[in-house]
Each structure stands twice: as C-alpha cells, then as structure tokens.
Amino acid sequence: MSARALFHDSPERLGHPHYDVDLVSPEVPSGAAWLANCLLELGVSVWKPWGSDDRAHWLSLGGLRHRYVGGDNGWSRVLPALRDGREFAFRAQPCVRAHHAWPNAHPATRLTLLFVRDPRDALYSAWQRSRRLDAIPPEQDFVAFCSSPFFHFPISRQDHLLLFLRVWRRALDSATGHVTRFEDYRRDPIGTLLAAQRHAGIDASSQAVQAAVAASSVERLKVEDRRLQEIGVVPSTIVRGEPPGEYQRHCDDEAQRRVGSRFGDICAWLGYTPPAAAEAERRLHSREQVHAGILSALGKTGVCIDSAGWLASAIFDCAADIDFATSASTG
C-alpha cells in the first residue's frame, strides 16, 4: 500500500491512537463537510480530513486540548470551525476519519456514517464546481461531463459514482452503518445531526446541537468563501448553496434520462425519486476487462487490492452494467 494510503490509517495524535468512526462520502459535492463541521463544533476530532496533511495546522496544548494554527489556508470555506487561533477541547471518543475511500481501504472502525446526496444533483454540483475552477473545457455540457472519464479511471464520472455507492451499500451493516442524506440536512439540520450523533454515541445538549448547526450553515460557508476570495487565498468561490433538486430544475428531459437512468437501484435504496427508465446500452467490452481496468485504477491510488478479496468481488458484482467510458483509454 502506498504511503499516501497508509497516512490516513491512523490519526497520529496523542490521546487519539486510532479512528473510531468513518465519515464516508463520494468524491463529488455531497454536503459531508457540513456533518464534519458540526462534529468539530461538538468537540469531536476530525484529523486529516479527506486525507489532507494537517499535522502542521495544530498545536498541542496538552491532553486533548489543541489550538488551530493553520492560518487562512482555504480549509475554513469547507470547515468553518477551523479558525486560526481557535482552541478545541476534544473528546477522547469518537475520533472521526472523513474520507472518500472504498470499503476496506483503511483499518475498520466500529461504525460508519455514509453521507449521500441524490447522485444526479451531486453530479450537477460537481459539473458546476468544475466550471468555476476552470477544471474542464468551458464548452463541456452536463451530459458530456457525466460521460467523461473520472480522473485516471477508465469508467465515466457517473459510473464511478454509481459503483462507489453500490459497493458501499453492500458493505454497510445496518447495526454499524448509518446513512445521512444531504436533502434531510437541508430540510431539518437539527434532526439530521441528532440522528447521526446518536448513532455515533455522542452526547450533547440541545443548545450545543443548535449552536453546531448555526456555525455550520450554508450562509456561514458563503461568508467565509467570499472572505477568502477577497483576501486572495482562493481564486474563486465554490459554495453556491443551491437547494435540492437542482438538476431537475435546470436539465431537460433528455439530459435527465441520459444521466438519471443509471441510478435506478441507488435511488430506490436511498429513497429518491426514481429516474425515467432507458434502454440498456450494448456492452462493448467484457465484464472481466472492465473489472481489471477498475482494479488497476484503484491500485494506482494506493488501495491494496486482493484479486480474490471482498472488495474485488464486490466491484465485479456491482459493475455488471458498467462499461469503459467512450473516451477512456482501454490499453
């Protein structure tokens, strides 16, 4: 396993020898940072968020007390709790690992919080963010974006998201896994946080929960995002704060069919409006070829893949209708 992958195996913090809880989300805008920030506000440690090296950003004050000394580094527009000079008195447990990793990529924790969003909305938000960051050609429309390869993976962005969610659905145990939906957080943030914290075994007063929600609001994020842009820390803002259902409001029927039809089983699982059905596309490559390509791409990210192990088997089963992206290299 690569040094990068191993880096996120443990917190490497005095008083927190290991992670107790995984906060998992797909690698598209989902709102998981909202829950991570609420947990920070409740005194729960979230070391190395999403694999970042934050060791120089914290000063130990002894015991479980730490001061954030990261300055204006851009992280506060995602986690506004991280204000330079702020002191935290963290709880001994839980210690949360926030990541976009696949099941079994890191040592197991006692429970998992899976944060999800309607995959069609998540892809639309990813497209809008990529446009703001000039990360894609300006002429690339939403459907073309969803059909394009996901970074170095040989499958499309929409199929990568589909496969990630399917594999995590298989991995979650009802006793140790809890699903938090973006739509529920936007509708009822206090109730959504209470459900997640109860599952994680976190005691907090109603006043503390209300304060955590207020400190993690979209409005708070927008203010911080603009501030960082004004002082030159970031070149552009990324927080739009659109309510759920954006892809339905802005995409025509054809775009909704071409993207949404892929997620019928996921929408049924997560309780989202079912997409319109579409004819199955003819597979151009064998299931074995696609499976090998996905495992190779995962290996390049540092994930240790046992070809006979659980993750490889789950990916094979969950990729039955997935083919190589049209523009991806299959060599």
Q: Comparing C-alpha atoms, which of 4, 3, 39, 2 is closest to residue 22?
A: 39
pTM of the model: 0.94
End-to-end CA gap in the chain: 24
Instruction: Evaluate if residue 114 carries a pLDDT over 50.
Output: yes
pLDDT tens, 226-277? 999 999 999 999 999 899 999 999 999 999 999 999 999 999 999 999 998 7
For the ranges 64-78, 187-201, 264-278, the lowest mean pLDDT is seen at 264-278
pLDDT tens, 279-291? 777 788 999 999 9
Helix ranges restricted to H, the chain: 3-7, 32-41, 119-132, 142-147, 157-171, 182-187, 189-200, 206-215, 218-230, 246-250, 253-260, 264-270, 287-300, 310-318
**What pLDDT, on a 0 to 100 scale, did the predictor assign at position 2?**
53
The beta-carbon contacts of 277-282 under 8 Å, at least 24 apart in sequence, are 280/321, 281/323
Contact status, residue 143 vs residue 255, Cβ threshold 8 Å: yes
For the ranges 27-36, 84-93, 270-279, 313-322, the lowest mean pLDDT is seen at 270-279
